[in-house]
Amino acid sequence: MKYGMRFLLVIVVVTSVACGGSNTQGPNVRDLTEIEQSLVQSSNSFGFKLLSEVVGQSDGGNVFISPLSVSIALGMTYNGTAGTTEEGMRACLEFGDLNREEINQGYQDLIELLCNMDPDVTMEVANSIWYREGFEVLQSFIDAMLTFFDALVTAVDFTDPGTVDVINAWVAEKTHDKIDKILNETYADMVMVLINAIYFKGTWTYEFDPEDTRDGTFHASDSDQTVKMMNMHGELSYQENQDFQAVDLPYGHELFSMTVFLPREGKSVDDIIAMLTDQNWSAWMAGFEVQEIDLALPRFELEYDKVLNDVLKALGMQDAFDPMVADFSGIKPDHDMWISEVKHKTYVKVNEEGTEAAAVTSVTVVDSAAGPFMTVDRPFLFVIHDKNSKAMMFMGKIVDPPSE
């Protein structure tokens, strides 16, 4: 069987509140409630849109995102919205007819199931809220974060350079050091930073034999390159059609899996991504049959990061980023706040044993109550002048400040 080497990696995991790793019992499965089913559908629909938009705004290189992590971080933030800001986030996140209580409860219940579902898969999700010291956050907002998202809620001094180290240390701990930081610095105008962290580690149900791994050629978009190609012959869930070949690789007790789509010659990965809809996904998942196949899959390790502001604006969240119209009165009434940045970082490693992945999403909410904050950290103009005579004595442009 001949395999081309361009592929789309899809890891689908849906969860939302802080949880620990695997349990010590056997597999734990149950039917989802109606609310949980609606939440899963919402999360998947958002994920398909998010991936398509991120790819559309990328430079054509590697992309690896966690729609789950973005959904959780924004889901927490959603609890503080009102008016058109709430409407925009609701549409972006595909919440449909679910009310806020159902959304939060659905996340909480679903994650309780997912985090304890497979004893051979580690699934850890953690949330934290960092808010400015002295800033009076509505108790109802804090209660929602504690009750439904099991979040760490902490008051910090954003003007203290050490605060960024504290926050990044939390991120590193929750991702097992796979992502060591999400913030580069903190600012005086920060009101709140909401962070979600996810860590996943799964061992293949059918592991690749390291002795069968050998050099292979990967046909990248611009040139061929040599990679370590893992090889397997066996019975796996497989399907093929006019658009792609696909294989489903399970972890542990086969409750989690990685599905790999290989576009047909003449098709691109972007073509397959453009087809990702709820209806197509359901049809594709129903089309797998166990067959005896030969599989060659590259071993790889990838880090990825992206600021999602423009992506989320394109998906309907414009108001949340607009200082003139954003409404976060659910955090504190009569206080102008808006989202300055949604930042996303991920990590994934795929080898003969299985998959290790991590993701962090931060939502930074700012205001202007603390006054302007200016950091001269890019090229600037300066003028030395006399205020009395109005004479300009010196003028300069600095693009590379010389040291003393």
Is the Cβ–Cβ distance between 107 and 17 less than 8 Å?
yes
What is the spatial distance between Cα 258 and Cα 251, in angstroms, rounded to a whole number? Answer: 8
In whole angstroms, how far apart are CA 387 and each of 152, 336, 393?
52, 36, 11
CATH number of the domain bearing residue 194: 3.30.497.10
What is the spatial distance between Cα 61 and Cα 246, in angstroms, rounded to a whole number? Answer: 21
Q: 279 in a domain, yes or no?
A: no
Taking only the tens of pLDDT, the chain with its 404 residues reads 333 333 444 444 333 334 544 444 568 778 888 888 888 889 889 999 999 999 999 888 889 899 888 999 999 999 999 999 999 999 999 999 999 999 998 888 777 877 888 889 898 999 999 999 999 999 999 999 999 999 999 999 999 999 999 999 999 999 999 999 999 999 989 999 999 999 999 999 999 999 999 999 888 877 888 989 999 999 999 999 999 999 899 999 998 898 998 888 888 888 999 999 999 999 999 999 999 999 999 998 999 999 999 999 999 999 999 999 999 999 999 899 999 999 999 998 999 999 999 999 999 999 975 555 554 556 766 566 556 656 655 666 666 666 54
Give the closest residue to 355 by CA, choosing from 364, 366, 347, 365: 347
Identify residue 121 by its one-letter amino acid code. V
Q: 64 in a domain, yes or no?
A: yes
Is the Cβ–Cβ distance between 259 and 251 less than 8 Å?
no
What is the spatial distance between Cα 328 and Cα 180, in angstroms, rounded to a whole number? Answer: 30
Q: 394 in a domain, yes or no?
A: no
The predicted pLDDT at position 6 comes to 38
Q: 178 in a domain, yes or no?
A: yes
What is the spatial distance between Cα 390 and Cα 93, in angstroms, rounded to a whole number? Answer: 55
What is the spatial distance between Cα 114 and Cα 188, in angstroms, rounded to a whole number? Answer: 38
Q: 399 in a domain, yes or no?
A: no
- Structural domain harbouring 192: 8-203+301-366
The predicted pLDDT at position 117 comes to 81
Write out the two tokens for 94.
């595909």
Number of domains observed in the structure of the chain: 1
10 Å CB burial of residue 214 (0-12, 13-18, 19+) is exposed
Q: 260 in a domain, yes or no?
A: no
Q: Please measure the distance between the N-terminal and C-terminal CA atoms of the chain and give it in whole angstroms.
A: 66
Place of tokens 């059609």: 241
Q: 305 in a domain, yes or no?
A: yes
Q: 383 in a domain, yes or no?
A: no
Q: What distance lies between CA 395 and its chain's CA centroid?
A: 46
